[in-house]
Amino acid sequence: MSDSTFDSVDPDELPDEAIRCLECGYDLHGIVERRRDVCPECGLPFSTQRLKQRLLKRQDRRSRLIKAGCWILGILVVLVIALLLTVRRLAAAP
């Protein structure tokens, strides 16, 4: 994705964990809005681009987990249906 897409993102729209200092966890909401590049709590330099990349990685990880969960749920549904059909056949057999 291009930088121009991210430049239009309002810091208040980002989740809290996305704009916290990587070193001390200080909330950088106001700092990001003022375009400062150093955490006032611990002095760690940061960039809004790096924070946005971290958010994208987290979102990608979440979407992969959701996708894997859907596959697992689908497989479980198929297995339960197969089990129920097998039990029904066995119960109907003389």
Structure confidence by residue, pLDDT tens digits, 15-47: 555 577 878 888 877 675 566 678 888 988 877
The candidate with the shortest Cα–Cα distance to 19, out of 3, 39, 2, is 39
User: Confidence class of residue 14 from pLDDT cuts 50, 70 and 90?
Assistant: low
Total count of domains within the chain: 1
pLDDT of 12 > 60? The answer is no
More confident residue, 8 or 65: 65
Residue with tokens 């150093």: 38
Residue 5 scores a pLDDT above 50:
no
For the entire predicted model, the pTM comes to 0.47
CA 48/CA 15 separation, integer angstroms: 14
pLDDT, greater one: 58 or 86: 86
pLDDT band at 55; cut points 50, 70, 90: confident
Asked whether the beta carbons of 27 and 20 are under 8 A apart, the reply is yes
Instruction: Identify the domain containing residue 53 by its residue range.
Output: 3-92
Q: Are 52 and 44 in contact (CB under 8 A)?
A: no
Pair of tokens at residue 32: 């990001």
